[in-house]
């Protein structure tokens, strides 16, 4: 949409081909329906947050930075707000408002939108021909492939762009899921399904017990393991998760000593109460039976009978709840696809193919992927802007 709107704004006759009956279906899911449309930071920080080929985007980010994204949307009438971690959202908290103004941008610039799937792309001399599912063949002297990655295929991104690019001789870097939930092996994990932990610190240790990732924030349990912002971020940093261990600090604001003092205070105050009742003051309900089981302290034991050793073990457990990690969920559940069209074969100043004159790429189809926080959409805006301004 960005690329098509920019091209049309320059007076070029532009056709946008979209296989879905609506535009921007994936956007509707972004930021849990709120669309974290960019990150309010400088270009250097944008690049730092694109672990795969961030430098390739330097030029595109200077041409269209997150500040330009914000003013672009403001000009279209979208009010925005900046939240924790410099994450930018529409003030309305509604992703559909982002889609609405983008459609306005596309339509008001005179883009002709055709809702049909592109099945094949050919080039005859200098002319591209796109064969559509509805039987039409669209011809043009420039072509931008912005078909997204392979994740959340229900939104339309089924990896078709890789097939088209490969046909034109482009190298496709092996794609894999990034920003994806992680499966855990522990038998108790499914019992915590849907449990949200709003403020925890996590660390991930490899098989040699070396800390390979640390973060703090929000996570949740699923039937198969763990997900949520800190877990998704971890998945883009730790590329192979097999035989790694996740440690969750359930009380990151308190040191072990302070937590011990807090628990002693509770135990003194409610000395005749049962362990399970007192734990409810400390933990979300769903976690109580799990912690009881792992602590090996009987649920009905009155807290004044709990030994010092048992209490110390409990403190350790609350600071180090551990889970064996197994594997990433499939690409279908990944927020982004890592891998794609090799950046070495694309000119960073224009997004034009170095192999096929007149062919351009934009967005997630390229071998670039970022952390959570609005960076992936910024890639799409910046690359789309550059491609649409260069065709």
Ligand X SMILES: Cc1cc2nc3c(=O)[nH]c(=O)nc-3n(C[C@H](O)[C@H](O)[C@H](O)COP(=O)(O)OP(=O)(O)OC[C@H]3O[C@@H](n4cnc5c(N)ncnc54)[C@H](O)[C@@H]3O)c2cc1C
The gap between the terminal CA atoms of the chain, to the nearest Å, is 14
Q: Would you say 115 or 273 has its CB closer to ligand X? A: 115
CA distance 238 to 281: 35
CA distance 139 to 129: 4
Q: Which of 73, 152, 267, 275 binds ligand X (CB under 6 A)?
A: 152
Place of tokens 């063949």: 137
Interface with ligand X includes 86 (CB under 6 A)? no
Q: Would you say 160 or 345 has its CB closer to ligand X? A: 160
Q: Least Å distance between CB 10 and ligand X?
A: 20
Q: Which of 4, 6, 7, 17 binds ligand X (CB under 6 A)?
A: 17
CA distance 312 to 202: 20
Selected range binding ligand X among 17-25, 60-68, 104-112, 279-287, rule: CB under 6 A: 17-25
Interface with ligand X includes 117 (CB under 6 A)? yes
Ramachandran angles phi, psi of 89, nearest 5°:
-130, 160
Tell me the two tokens of residue 116: 């049909």
Interface with ligand X includes 180 (CB under 6 A)? no
Interface with ligand X includes 222 (CB under 6 A)? no
Q: Would you say 148 or 225 has its CB closer to ligand X? A: 148
Q: Would you say 160 or 260 has its CB closer to ligand X? A: 160
CA distance 297 to 305: 10
Alpha helix (H) ranges present in 21-176?
A: 25-33, 43-48, 58-63, 66-75, 95-108, 160-167
Q: Which of 90, 148, 177, 388 binds ligand X (CB under 6 A)?
A: 148
Counting beta carbons within 10 angstroms of the beta carbon of residue 321, is it exposed (0 to 12), middle (13 to 18) or buried (19 or more)? buried
Interface with ligand X includes 28 (CB under 6 A)? no
Interface with ligand X includes 385 (CB under 6 A)? no
Helix, strand, or coil (residue 344): helix
CA distance 303 to 72: 60
Selected range binding ligand X among 136-144, 238-246, 320-328, 374-382, rule: CB under 6 A: 374-382
Q: Which of 88, 144, 146, 204 binds ligand X (CB under 6 A)?
A: 146
CA distance 43 to 50: 11
Interface with ligand X includes 371 (CB under 6 A)? no
CA distance 18 to 166: 20
Q: Would you say 58 or 155 has its CB closer to ligand X? A: 155
Interface with ligand X includes 4 (CB under 6 A)? no
CB 150 within 8 A of CB 316: no
Q: Which of 18, 183, 352, 367 binds ligand X (CB under 6 A)?
A: 18
Could you give the angle at which helices 95-108 and 25-33 cross, rounded to 10 degrees? 150
Q: Which of 26, 170, 186, 319 binds ligand X (CB under 6 A)?
A: 26
Query: How many chain residues are in contact with ligand X, going by CB under 6 A?
Result: 30
Q: Which run of H or E residues covers position 324?
A: strand 321-328
Q: Which run of H or E residues covers position 268?
A: helix 256-269
Interface with ligand X includes 29 (CB under 6 A)? yes
Selected range binding ligand X among 24-32, 57-65, 225-233, 264-272, rule: CB under 6 A: 24-32
List the beta bridge partners of residue 340: 173
Interface with ligand X includes 36 (CB under 6 A)? yes
Interface with ligand X includes 5 (CB under 6 A)? no
Binders of ligand X among 336-355, rule CB under 6 A? 336
Q: 343: closest CA among 10, 135, 59?
A: 59
Selected range binding ligand X among 97-105, 193-201, 274-282, 373-381, rule: CB under 6 A: 373-381
Q: Which of 14, 69, 109, 151 binds ligand X (CB under 6 A)?
A: 151
CB 367 within 8 A of CB 340: yes
Q: Which of 56, 57, 142, 160 binds ligand X (CB under 6 A)?
A: 160
Residue numbers of the site for ligand X (CB under 6 A)? 17-20, 25-26, 29-31, 35-36, 117-118, 146-148, 151-152, 156-157, 160, 335-336, 363-364, 374-377, 380
């Amino acid at each position: 949409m960005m690329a098509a709107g920019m091209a049309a704004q320059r007076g070029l006759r532009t056709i946008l081909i979209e296989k879905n009956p609506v535009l921007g279906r994936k956007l509707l899911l972004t930021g849990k329906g709120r669309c974290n449309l960019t990150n309010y930071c400088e270009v250097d920080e944008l690049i730092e947050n694109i672990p795969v080929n961030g430098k390739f985007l330097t030029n595109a980010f200077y041409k269209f930075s997150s500040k330009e994204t914000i003013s672009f949307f403001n000009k279209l009438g979208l009010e925005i707000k900046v939240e924790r971690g410099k994450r930018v959202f529409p003030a309305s908290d509604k992703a559909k408002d982002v889609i609405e103004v983008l459609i306005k941008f596309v339509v008001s610039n005179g883009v002709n939108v055709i809702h049909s799937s592109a099945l094949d792309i050919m080039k005859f001399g200098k002319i591209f021909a796109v064969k559509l599912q509805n039987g039409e063949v669209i011809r043009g002297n420039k072509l931008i492939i912005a078909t997204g990655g392979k994740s959340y295929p229900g939104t339309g991104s089924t990896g078709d762009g890789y097939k088209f690019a490969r046909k034109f001789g482009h190298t496709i870097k092996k794609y894999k899921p990034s920003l994806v939930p992680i499966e855990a092996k522990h038998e108790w994990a499914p019992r915590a399904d849907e449990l949200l932990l709003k403020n925890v610190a996590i660390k991930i240790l490899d098989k040699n017990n070396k800390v390979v990732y640390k973060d703090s924030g929000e996570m949740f349990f699923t039937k198969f393991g763990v997900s949520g912002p800190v877990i998704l971020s971890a998945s883009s940093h730790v590329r192979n998760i097999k035989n790694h261990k996740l440690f969750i600090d359930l009380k990151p604001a308190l040191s072990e000593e302070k937590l011990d003092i807090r628990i002693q205070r509770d135990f003194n105050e409610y000395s005749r109460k049962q362990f399970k009742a007192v734990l409810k003051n400390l933990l979300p309900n769903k976690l109580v039976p799990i912690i009881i089981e792992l602590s090996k302290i009987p649920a009905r034991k009155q807290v004044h009978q709990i030994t010092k050793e048992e209490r110390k073990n409990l403190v350790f457990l609350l600071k180090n709840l551990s889970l064996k990690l197994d594997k990433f969920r499939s690409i279908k559940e990944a927020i982004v696809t890592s891998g794609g069209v090799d950046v070495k074969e694309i000119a960073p100043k224009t997004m034009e193919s170095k192999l096929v004159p007149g062919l351009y790429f934009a967005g997630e189809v390229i071998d670039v992927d970022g952390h959570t926080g609005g960076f992936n959409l910024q890639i799409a805006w910046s690359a789309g802007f550059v491609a649409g301004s260069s065709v």
